[in-house]
Amino acid sequence: MTGTAKEIIVGVVTSGDTNGYFSNGLSQNALFLYKSLEKVPMVKPVLIFYPTYGLEWPSQMDIFGTTAYNLELFYEKYHLDVLLTVSNALDPSIVQKFKKNNVKVVAVVYGNTYIMDQEAMCFGDLLPATEEKRNFANRPLIRKEAGLDAVWLSPHFAWQKDYIMHRYSAPKAHVCPYIWGPELLLQQYKQDPHYEKDGPFFRPGNPKNKNVFATEPNINVVKTSLFPFQAANLVVKRNNSDLNALLLFGSNHHRIHNKPARDYFTWAKISQDKKVFFEHRYKFSTITKHGQVMFHHHFENGLNYTLLEAATLKLPVVHNSEFMPELGYYYKRANLTDAASQIEAALLHEERDDLEEYNKLCSKVVHKFHYANYDNVRGHQSLIANLLNPEIEPELPPYIVDLEYRLEHGDGYISPLG
């Protein structure tokens, strides 16, 4: 962990609970941020885990082939120039341990802070958490962090930039690149014997090509299974026989314990025809054993790893992400008619005569957000430089520059397409 005098040592805080890496995107966010910083000249990134819950934690641990170090080692023993907190909020007393050593501390925000704050204000303790379901409405409205030097936020929350800056009591806020890599996804498939023969990628003739799946977790309003259910139900109401099944992963708890949802799901034709299944949350490698057409719907949460996972596997993906309209079968906003039509088109995906071109577009989208993409690496390099010298302006990927221009000039307050 020692570097030359010229190196900038950057700590990236992640979760020490590797079991949550495939159900909580924040943990993957931290790992891919670390990997992107590895590509930055004269920066030495260090992956750090935050020892929480009063348990005994080791001094270091392996997280998917990368050594992560206990945060406590950096209070005094080891030096940092910058500390990026991704999947954990640090107590002010901990932040001050670093501030007294002249460490620049940044909160990196990859979650939909504004909307979850609204839920906390309206509902709070009215929604109890259970073993199966987290309650984001119980999140604190006042952040614990104090003394932050900056906040970085994901591009799909650029419209919240000023709100987030003040909420975190930070002197400045910058939009940062959204990044991902396929390693963790493909590792799942290598470890699953189900894919030994045919591999994980889309192939014509797979009987599961007529099964649609959604992965919305039903933990707050930004992603729920309501719209996927409605869109697939409309397909069935049109008497389209191509749809064999709709698999709603992450909806089982909602289906059992939420009476309004249970009543709503019961009356629909897709339920009466026994074509919908309410499932628990699983890894992507398990999900794609049962379905090959992915349906994604979001509310002001347009960047999501599942979209990039589907693109990596070259799956037909129906979605409303304004950040990648060139991917798959795109519908705008909450246009249910168009969403149903796109499902119908995706169910016939294997009959297309341009599958090779489709696959190239999938790869292009993945590259755009890859942690090693030059624009993303350069963006992180300039953000680090800005921390150490505020006169240096960040140089961000073109789509972020365009997005911020639109927001500033009133063209697209909520989303990049207006």
Is the domain of 291 the same as that of 332? Answer: yes
Residue pLDDT, tens place only, 343-375: 999 999 999 999 999 999 999 999 999 999 999
Domain at 207, CATH number: 3.40.50.2000
Residue pLDDT, tens place only, 32-43: 999 999 999 999
Is the domain of 97 the same as that of 245? Answer: no
Q: Which residue has 């931290």 as its token pair? A: 30
Assess if residue 264 is contained within a domain.
Answer: yes
Nearest CA to 111 among 230, 219, 267, 245?
219
Q: Which helix (H) or strand (E) holds 362?
A: helix 355-368
Is the domain of 394 the same as that of 358? Answer: no
Predicted local distance difference test score (pLDDT) of residue 413:
45
Is the domain of 160 the same as that of 301? Answer: no
Is the domain of 157 the same as that of 204? Answer: no
Assess if residue 191 is contained within a domain.
Answer: no
Nearest CA to 365 among 296, 402, 310?
310
Is the domain of 348 the same as that of 203? Answer: yes
* Phi-psi region at 125: left, alpha or beta (left = phi > 0; alpha = psi -120 to 50): alpha
Mean pLDDT of 131-142: 64
Assess if residue 172 is contained within a domain.
Answer: yes
Which range is most confident: 65-79, 254-268, 372-386?
Answer: 372-386
Is the domain of 17 the same as that of 132? Answer: yes
Interacting residues of 356 by C-beta distance below 8 A, sequence separation 6+: none
Assess if residue 3 is contained within a domain.
Answer: no
Assess if residue 416 is contained within a domain.
Answer: no
Assess if residue 185 is contained within a domain.
Answer: no
Range of the domain at 254: 196-368
Handedness of CA 111, 320, 276, 285 (dihedral sign): negative
Is the domain of 125 the same as that of 266? Answer: no
Is the domain of 324 the same as that of 242? Answer: yes
Residue pLDDT, tens place only, 19-60: 666 666 778 899 999 999 999 999 999 999 987 766 678 899
Residue pLDDT, tens place only, 187-199: 999 999 999 999 9
* Distance of alpha carbon 417 from alpha carbon 255, whole angstroms: 34
Assess if residue 204 is contained within a domain.
Answer: yes
Is the domain of 205 the same as that of 337? Answer: yes
Domain at 48, CATH number: 3.40.50
Tokens describing residue 251: 């909806």
Cβ-contact 416, 403 below 8 angstroms: yes
pTM of the predicted model as reported, rounded to 2 decimal places: 0.92
Number of domains the chain is built from: 2
Is the domain of 290 the same as that of 330? Answer: yes
Mean pLDDT of 123-139: 66
pLDDT at 87 over 70: no
Is the domain of 339 the same as that of 394? Answer: no
Predicted local distance difference test score (pLDDT) of residue 263:
84
Tokens describing residue 404: 């911020």
Assess if residue 190 is contained within a domain.
Answer: no
* Distance of alpha carbon 268 from alpha carbon 188, whole angstroms: 35
Which residue pairs from 183-192 have beta carbons closer than 8 angstroms and sit at least 24 positions apart in sequence? 183/64, 184/21, 184/22, 184/28, 184/31, 184/64, 185/284, 185/285, 185/309, 185/312, 185/313, 186/312, 187/64, 188/22, 188/283, 188/284, 188/285, 189/285, 191/285, 192/285, 192/286
Residue pLDDT, tens place only, 148-174: 999 999 999 999 999 999 999 999 999
